[in-house]
Amino acid sequence: MKKTRQWFLAVLICCIVPSTLLPGFTSCSGAQKPSLSDTLIPLPPDYSDTTMWITSDLDTEGTGADIFYVVSTWEEDWTDSLGRTSHYADVWNPEHRRHMAKEINKVAAYMAPGNRFFAPYYRHTTLDAWVTQNTDTIMRRTRLSMADVCEAFDYFQSHRDQSRPLIIAGFSQGGMATVELLRHISDSTYGQMAAAYVLGYKVTHDDMEECSHIRPAQGESDTGVTICYNTVKDVRYIKPIIAGSDICINPVNWHTDATPAQLHDTITITVDTTHHVLVATGYSASEYKPYKNLLNVGDIHSCEPWLYSQCLQQNIAVRTRAWRKTQAPSF
Protein backbone atom coordinates (compact mmCIF):
# COMPACT_ATOMS: atom_id res chain seq x y z
CA MET A 1 0.00 0.00 0.00
CA LYS A 2 2.73 2.50 0.98
CA LYS A 3 4.76 1.60 -2.09
CA THR A 4 1.77 2.18 -4.35
CA ARG A 5 0.80 5.48 -2.75
CA GLN A 6 4.35 6.83 -3.03
CA TRP A 7 4.28 6.10 -6.73
CA PHE A 8 1.06 8.02 -7.38
CA LEU A 9 1.13 11.40 -9.10
CA ALA A 10 -1.90 13.52 -8.25
CA VAL A 11 -3.65 15.19 -11.17
CA LEU A 12 -6.59 17.55 -11.64
CA ILE A 13 -9.54 15.82 -13.30
CA CYS A 14 -11.20 18.06 -15.87
CA CYS A 15 -13.77 17.73 -18.68
CA ILE A 16 -12.47 18.40 -22.18
CA VAL A 17 -13.84 17.91 -25.69
CA PRO A 18 -13.46 14.28 -26.85
CA SER A 19 -11.28 13.13 -29.72
CA THR A 20 -11.92 11.86 -33.23
CA LEU A 21 -9.70 8.82 -33.48
CA LEU A 22 -8.98 5.38 -34.90
CA PRO A 23 -7.33 2.05 -33.95
CA GLY A 24 -5.26 -0.73 -35.51
CA PHE A 25 -3.90 -4.25 -34.95
CA THR A 26 -0.48 -5.71 -34.20
CA SER A 27 1.39 -7.95 -31.80
CA CYS A 28 3.18 -6.73 -28.71
CA SER A 29 4.68 -10.03 -27.59
CA GLY A 30 8.38 -9.84 -28.39
CA ALA A 31 7.76 -6.51 -30.11
CA GLN A 32 10.70 -4.93 -31.90
CA LYS A 33 11.28 -1.36 -32.94
CA PRO A 34 10.45 -0.83 -36.62
CA SER A 35 13.47 -0.39 -38.90
CA LEU A 36 12.36 2.80 -40.60
CA SER A 37 15.62 4.61 -41.31
CA ASP A 38 13.87 7.36 -43.25
CA THR A 39 11.60 8.32 -40.35
CA LEU A 40 12.09 9.99 -36.99
CA ILE A 41 11.54 7.74 -33.97
CA PRO A 42 10.89 9.90 -30.88
CA LEU A 43 12.83 9.21 -27.69
CA PRO A 44 11.29 6.40 -25.61
CA PRO A 45 9.31 7.06 -22.43
CA ASP A 46 10.82 6.36 -19.02
CA TYR A 47 8.01 4.88 -16.96
CA SER A 48 9.88 5.34 -13.69
CA ASP A 49 9.41 9.08 -14.34
CA THR A 50 6.07 10.18 -12.87
CA THR A 51 5.64 12.74 -15.66
CA MET A 52 5.00 9.81 -18.01
CA TRP A 53 1.72 9.11 -16.21
CA ILE A 54 -1.61 10.64 -15.37
CA THR A 55 -2.84 9.04 -12.16
CA SER A 56 -5.52 9.60 -9.57
CA ASP A 57 -6.19 7.89 -6.23
CA LEU A 58 -9.88 8.36 -5.39
CA ASP A 59 -10.37 5.04 -3.62
CA THR A 60 -10.99 6.52 -0.19
CA GLU A 61 -12.66 3.36 1.14
CA GLY A 62 -10.10 0.89 -0.22
CA THR A 63 -12.82 -1.09 -2.00
CA GLY A 64 -12.23 -0.07 -5.62
CA ALA A 65 -10.09 -1.32 -8.48
CA ASP A 66 -6.80 -0.38 -10.08
CA ILE A 67 -7.62 0.88 -13.58
CA PHE A 68 -5.00 0.88 -16.36
CA TYR A 69 -6.28 3.03 -19.23
CA VAL A 70 -4.73 3.35 -22.71
CA VAL A 71 -5.42 6.55 -24.64
CA SER A 72 -6.39 6.54 -28.31
CA THR A 73 -4.79 8.29 -31.31
CA TRP A 74 -4.30 12.04 -31.37
CA GLU A 75 -1.44 12.88 -33.73
CA GLU A 76 -1.06 12.98 -37.48
CA ASP A 77 2.36 12.56 -39.14
CA TRP A 78 4.58 15.48 -38.17
CA THR A 79 8.05 16.81 -38.98
CA ASP A 80 10.80 18.07 -36.72
CA SER A 81 12.99 21.14 -37.23
CA LEU A 82 15.23 19.14 -39.59
CA GLY A 83 12.32 18.15 -41.79
CA ARG A 84 12.27 14.52 -40.67
CA THR A 85 8.85 12.84 -40.64
CA SER A 86 7.60 10.87 -37.66
CA HIS A 87 4.74 8.36 -37.58
CA TYR A 88 4.56 8.43 -33.77
CA ALA A 89 3.46 10.72 -30.97
CA ASP A 90 6.34 12.17 -28.96
CA VAL A 91 5.80 11.68 -25.22
CA TRP A 92 8.33 14.46 -24.50
CA ASN A 93 6.52 16.97 -26.72
CA PRO A 94 4.30 19.27 -24.56
CA GLU A 95 1.71 19.66 -27.33
CA HIS A 96 1.41 15.91 -27.87
CA ARG A 97 1.12 15.39 -24.12
CA ARG A 98 -1.65 18.01 -23.91
CA HIS A 99 -3.57 16.22 -26.65
CA MET A 100 -3.39 12.85 -24.90
CA ALA A 101 -4.21 14.42 -21.53
CA LYS A 102 -7.49 15.82 -22.90
CA GLU A 103 -8.89 12.35 -23.39
CA ILE A 104 -7.24 10.77 -20.36
CA ASN A 105 -8.58 13.42 -17.99
CA LYS A 106 -12.09 13.21 -19.36
CA VAL A 107 -12.10 9.40 -19.04
CA ALA A 108 -10.65 9.67 -15.54
CA ALA A 109 -13.52 11.98 -14.59
CA TYR A 110 -15.87 8.99 -14.68
CA MET A 111 -13.54 5.99 -14.23
CA ALA A 112 -11.38 7.27 -11.38
CA PRO A 113 -14.01 7.98 -8.66
CA GLY A 114 -13.83 5.16 -6.12
CA ASN A 115 -10.77 3.68 -7.83
CA ARG A 116 -7.07 4.16 -8.48
CA PHE A 117 -6.53 5.29 -12.05
CA PHE A 118 -3.32 5.01 -14.11
CA ALA A 119 -2.78 6.10 -17.73
CA PRO A 120 0.63 6.23 -19.44
CA TYR A 121 1.75 8.47 -22.25
CA TYR A 122 3.05 6.34 -25.11
CA ARG A 123 4.33 6.72 -28.66
CA HIS A 124 1.03 5.95 -30.33
CA THR A 125 1.02 5.42 -34.08
CA THR A 126 -0.30 8.42 -35.99
CA LEU A 127 -3.64 8.55 -37.75
CA ASP A 128 -1.95 8.40 -41.14
CA ALA A 129 -1.30 4.67 -40.75
CA TRP A 130 -4.98 3.94 -40.16
CA VAL A 131 -6.11 6.11 -43.06
CA THR A 132 -4.19 3.78 -45.40
CA GLN A 133 -6.36 0.86 -44.16
CA ASN A 134 -3.35 -1.26 -45.07
CA THR A 135 -2.90 -4.04 -42.52
CA ASP A 136 0.82 -4.45 -43.23
CA THR A 137 1.48 -0.76 -42.64
CA ILE A 138 -0.57 -0.75 -39.47
CA MET A 139 1.10 -3.88 -38.06
CA ARG A 140 4.60 -2.64 -38.87
CA ARG A 141 4.15 0.80 -37.34
CA THR A 142 2.23 -0.25 -34.24
CA ARG A 143 4.95 -2.61 -32.98
CA LEU A 144 6.66 0.33 -31.31
CA SER A 145 3.44 1.66 -29.80
CA MET A 146 2.42 -1.70 -28.38
CA ALA A 147 5.89 -2.25 -26.93
CA ASP A 148 5.55 1.05 -25.04
CA VAL A 149 2.15 0.02 -23.64
CA CYS A 150 3.45 -3.38 -22.51
CA GLU A 151 6.44 -1.75 -20.83
CA ALA A 152 4.17 0.74 -19.06
CA PHE A 153 1.85 -2.02 -17.90
CA ASP A 154 4.72 -4.12 -16.55
CA TYR A 155 5.96 -1.15 -14.54
CA PHE A 156 2.45 -0.46 -13.25
CA GLN A 157 1.88 -4.11 -12.35
CA SER A 158 5.18 -4.40 -10.49
CA HIS A 159 4.38 -1.36 -8.32
CA ARG A 160 0.69 -1.83 -7.53
CA ASP A 161 -0.95 -3.78 -4.72
CA GLN A 162 -1.73 -7.02 -6.54
CA SER A 163 -4.34 -8.06 -4.00
CA ARG A 164 -6.62 -5.45 -5.61
CA PRO A 165 -8.85 -6.10 -8.64
CA LEU A 166 -7.49 -5.00 -11.99
CA ILE A 167 -9.36 -3.22 -14.78
CA ILE A 168 -7.75 -2.77 -18.21
CA ALA A 169 -9.44 -0.36 -20.61
CA GLY A 170 -8.68 1.54 -23.79
CA PHE A 171 -10.34 3.40 -26.61
CA SER A 172 -9.60 3.03 -30.33
CA GLN A 173 -5.83 2.43 -30.66
CA GLY A 174 -6.02 2.03 -26.89
CA GLY A 175 -8.62 -0.69 -27.48
CA MET A 176 -6.16 -2.43 -29.75
CA ALA A 177 -3.60 -2.13 -26.95
CA THR A 178 -6.08 -3.64 -24.49
CA VAL A 179 -6.41 -6.72 -26.70
CA GLU A 180 -2.63 -6.87 -26.93
CA LEU A 181 -2.25 -6.62 -23.16
CA LEU A 182 -4.58 -9.58 -22.72
CA ARG A 183 -2.08 -11.59 -24.79
CA HIS A 184 0.84 -10.11 -22.87
CA ILE A 185 -0.21 -10.66 -19.25
CA SER A 186 0.60 -13.77 -17.26
CA ASP A 187 -2.01 -16.20 -15.97
CA SER A 188 -1.36 -14.84 -12.49
CA THR A 189 -2.10 -11.28 -13.62
CA TYR A 190 -5.17 -12.46 -15.49
CA GLY A 191 -6.45 -13.93 -12.22
CA GLN A 192 -6.39 -10.41 -10.78
CA MET A 193 -8.47 -8.97 -13.63
CA ALA A 194 -12.07 -8.05 -12.96
CA ALA A 195 -12.64 -7.04 -16.60
CA ALA A 196 -11.12 -5.58 -19.76
CA TYR A 197 -12.95 -2.90 -21.75
CA VAL A 198 -12.24 -2.70 -25.48
CA LEU A 199 -13.98 0.52 -26.53
CA GLY A 200 -14.23 1.19 -30.25
CA TYR A 201 -12.08 -1.68 -31.46
CA LYS A 202 -12.52 -5.31 -32.47
CA VAL A 203 -12.06 -8.70 -30.86
CA THR A 204 -11.89 -11.52 -33.42
CA HIS A 205 -12.23 -15.30 -33.34
CA ASP A 206 -8.48 -15.48 -33.99
CA ASP A 207 -7.82 -13.30 -30.94
CA MET A 208 -9.89 -15.62 -28.77
CA GLU A 209 -8.32 -18.78 -30.19
CA GLU A 210 -4.82 -17.40 -29.62
CA CYS A 211 -5.45 -16.05 -26.12
CA SER A 212 -7.25 -17.86 -23.32
CA HIS A 213 -7.41 -14.57 -21.38
CA ILE A 214 -10.04 -13.23 -23.80
CA ARG A 215 -13.46 -14.42 -22.63
CA PRO A 216 -16.43 -12.42 -23.97
CA ALA A 217 -18.67 -10.90 -21.32
CA GLN A 218 -22.12 -12.50 -21.16
CA GLY A 219 -23.81 -10.18 -18.71
CA GLU A 220 -23.47 -7.33 -16.26
CA SER A 221 -21.40 -8.89 -13.50
CA ASP A 222 -19.25 -11.75 -14.82
CA THR A 223 -15.55 -11.28 -14.13
CA GLY A 224 -12.31 -12.05 -15.94
CA VAL A 225 -14.15 -11.09 -19.13
CA THR A 226 -13.71 -8.76 -22.07
CA ILE A 227 -16.31 -6.12 -22.91
CA CYS A 228 -16.24 -5.03 -26.55
CA TYR A 229 -18.53 -2.82 -28.64
CA ASN A 230 -18.60 -0.48 -31.64
CA THR A 231 -21.45 1.88 -32.52
CA VAL A 232 -22.92 2.62 -35.96
CA LYS A 233 -26.07 4.22 -37.33
CA ASP A 234 -26.50 1.31 -39.73
CA VAL A 235 -24.50 -1.86 -40.36
CA ARG A 236 -23.59 -0.68 -43.86
CA TYR A 237 -21.29 1.87 -42.19
CA ILE A 238 -19.12 -0.68 -40.38
CA LYS A 239 -15.39 -0.03 -40.85
CA PRO A 240 -13.78 -3.50 -40.77
CA ILE A 241 -10.34 -2.17 -39.80
CA ILE A 242 -11.94 -0.86 -36.59
CA ALA A 243 -15.19 -2.67 -35.98
CA GLY A 244 -14.86 -6.03 -37.72
CA SER A 245 -15.49 -7.73 -34.38
CA ASP A 246 -16.78 -11.19 -33.56
CA ILE A 247 -18.14 -10.22 -30.15
CA CYS A 248 -20.32 -7.40 -28.86
CA ILE A 249 -22.26 -6.56 -25.71
CA ASN A 250 -24.75 -3.75 -25.13
CA PRO A 251 -23.31 -1.48 -22.39
CA VAL A 252 -26.76 -0.08 -21.60
CA ASN A 253 -28.59 -3.30 -20.67
CA TRP A 254 -25.61 -5.73 -20.74
CA HIS A 255 -27.33 -8.11 -23.17
CA THR A 256 -25.53 -9.86 -26.01
CA ASP A 257 -28.78 -10.52 -27.86
CA ALA A 258 -30.91 -8.00 -29.79
CA THR A 259 -32.88 -6.76 -26.79
CA PRO A 260 -33.04 -2.97 -27.30
CA ALA A 261 -32.07 -0.56 -24.52
CA GLN A 262 -33.05 3.06 -23.97
CA LEU A 263 -30.26 5.55 -23.28
CA HIS A 264 -30.93 9.12 -22.15
CA ASP A 265 -34.66 8.58 -22.94
CA THR A 266 -34.32 9.35 -26.67
CA ILE A 267 -31.62 6.97 -27.92
CA THR A 268 -32.16 3.26 -28.61
CA ILE A 269 -29.12 0.98 -28.59
CA THR A 270 -29.46 -2.53 -30.08
CA VAL A 271 -26.91 -5.28 -30.75
CA ASP A 272 -26.85 -6.48 -34.35
CA THR A 273 -26.06 -10.13 -33.64
CA THR A 274 -24.96 -10.85 -37.20
CA HIS A 275 -22.38 -8.09 -37.48
CA HIS A 276 -21.57 -7.77 -33.76
CA VAL A 277 -22.01 -4.02 -33.52
CA LEU A 278 -24.32 -1.62 -31.68
CA VAL A 279 -26.89 0.16 -33.81
CA ALA A 280 -27.93 3.54 -32.42
CA THR A 281 -31.25 5.11 -33.42
CA GLY A 282 -32.56 8.49 -32.34
CA TYR A 283 -29.03 9.87 -32.13
CA SER A 284 -27.60 12.31 -34.68
CA ALA A 285 -24.02 12.22 -33.31
CA SER A 286 -23.56 15.61 -34.99
CA GLU A 287 -20.94 16.58 -32.41
CA TYR A 288 -18.52 14.11 -34.01
CA LYS A 289 -17.26 15.48 -37.31
CA PRO A 290 -16.20 13.19 -40.17
CA TYR A 291 -12.48 12.55 -40.48
CA LYS A 292 -11.00 12.01 -43.96
CA ASN A 293 -14.12 10.12 -45.05
CA LEU A 294 -13.12 7.29 -42.73
CA LEU A 295 -14.44 8.02 -39.22
CA ASN A 296 -17.83 9.27 -38.06
CA VAL A 297 -19.34 8.70 -41.49
CA GLY A 298 -22.33 6.59 -40.49
CA ASP A 299 -20.22 4.88 -37.89
CA ILE A 300 -20.02 6.79 -34.59
CA HIS A 301 -16.51 5.82 -33.62
CA SER A 302 -15.74 8.87 -31.54
CA CYS A 303 -18.70 8.39 -29.20
CA GLU A 304 -17.56 5.12 -27.65
CA PRO A 305 -16.09 6.31 -24.30
CA TRP A 306 -18.48 9.25 -23.92
CA LEU A 307 -21.99 8.14 -24.93
CA TYR A 308 -21.94 5.26 -22.44
CA SER A 309 -19.81 6.88 -19.72
CA GLN A 310 -22.38 6.53 -16.94
CA CYS A 311 -23.02 2.90 -17.90
CA LEU A 312 -19.29 2.16 -17.86
CA GLN A 313 -18.76 3.88 -14.52
CA GLN A 314 -21.52 1.82 -12.91
CA ASN A 315 -20.38 -1.41 -14.52
CA ILE A 316 -16.78 -1.04 -13.37
CA ALA A 317 -18.14 -0.81 -9.82
CA VAL A 318 -20.39 -3.86 -10.32
CA ARG A 319 -17.61 -6.06 -11.69
CA THR A 320 -15.15 -4.84 -9.05
CA ARG A 321 -17.56 -5.83 -6.28
CA ALA A 322 -18.20 -9.19 -7.97
CA TRP A 323 -14.46 -9.88 -8.23
CA ARG A 324 -13.86 -8.98 -4.60
CA LYS A 325 -16.73 -11.26 -3.55
CA THR A 326 -15.90 -14.35 -5.57
CA GLN A 327 -12.37 -14.15 -6.97
CA ALA A 328 -10.15 -12.23 -4.59
CA PRO A 329 -7.09 -14.40 -3.87
CA SER A 330 -5.81 -15.15 -0.38
CA PHE A 331 -2.60 -13.41 0.64
Domain ranges of the chain: 2-325
| Average pLDDT, integer, range 300-327 | 96
- State what percent of residues in the chain have pLDDT above 70: 87
- The pLDDT-based confidence of 183 (bands split at 50, 70, 90) is very high
- For 220, the 3-state DSSP assignment is coil
Q: How many CB atoms lie within 10 A of CB 274?
A: 8
Q: Is residue 9 scored above 50 in pLDDT?
A: no
**Direct distance between the N- and C-terminal alpha carbons of the chain, in angstroms, rounded to an integer:** 14
Q: Is residue 18 scored above 70 in pLDDT?
A: no
- State what percent of residues in the chain have pLDDT above 90: 81
Q: How far is Cα of residue 115 from the mean position of the Cα atoms in its chain?
A: 17
| Average pLDDT, integer, range 46-69 | 98
Q: Is residue 13 scored above 50 in pLDDT?
A: no
pLDDT of residue 11: 33
Decide if 91 contacts 123 (C-beta within 8 A): yes
pLDDT of residue 134: 87
- Indicate yes or no: pTM above 0.85: yes
pLDDT of residue 326: 86
pLDDT of residue 5: 40
Phi, psi for 249 (deg, rounded to 5): -135, 145
